Homo-oligomer: A and B are copies of this chain.
Amino acid sequence: MTTRARRPQRRNQVLSREQIIDTAVEMLDAGGESALTIRALTERLSTGSGAIYYHVGTRDELLDTATETVIGAALATRPAGTAATPGDEIRVVALALFDAIAAHQWLATRLSLQIIRNPVGPVTVGIFERIGGQVGALGVPRASWFDAASTLVHYILGAVSQNARIEGDTSGIDPSGDRDEFFDAASTAWQGLDPEAYPFMHAIVGQMREHDDREQFLTGIAVILDGLTHLC
Contacts and interface: CB of A to CB of B under 8 A. Distances in A.
A150 B198 contact: no
Contact of A125 (B133, B154, B198): B198
Contacts of A96: none
Contacts of A190: 120, 125
B204 A117 contact: no
Closest 8 CB pairs of A and B: A158-B158, A227-B227, A223-B227, A154-B159, A151-B220, A146-B207, A120-B189, A226-B227
Nearest to A222: B227
A226 B230 contact: yes
Interface string A102-125: 000100110011011111110001
A16 interface: no
A91 interface: no
Nearest to A151: B220
Interface in A192-209: 193, 197-201, 203-204, 207-208
A37 interface: no
Given A116-B167, A159-B154, A171-B118, A142 B203 contact: yes
Given A109-B112, A112-B162, A116-B162, 9 more contacts: A117-B171, A121-B171, A125-B198, A145-B203, A149-B200, A151-B159, A154-B158, A155-B224, A227-B227
Interface residues of A, number: 72
Contacts of A198: 125, 129
A178 interface: no
A186 interface: yes
Nearest to A215: B147
A131 B113 CA distance: 25
A176 interface: no
Interface string A161-185: 1101111111111000000000000
29 contacts: A105-B116, A108-B112, A112-B161, A116-B165, A116-B166, A117-B167, A117-B170, A119-B189, A121-B171, A129-B197, A132-B201, A133-B199, A136-B200, A136-B203, A145-B207, A146-B204, A146-B207, A146-B208, A147-B219, A147-B220, A151-B220, A151-B223, A154-B158, A154-B159, A154-B220, A155-B155, A224-B227, A225-B227, A227-B228
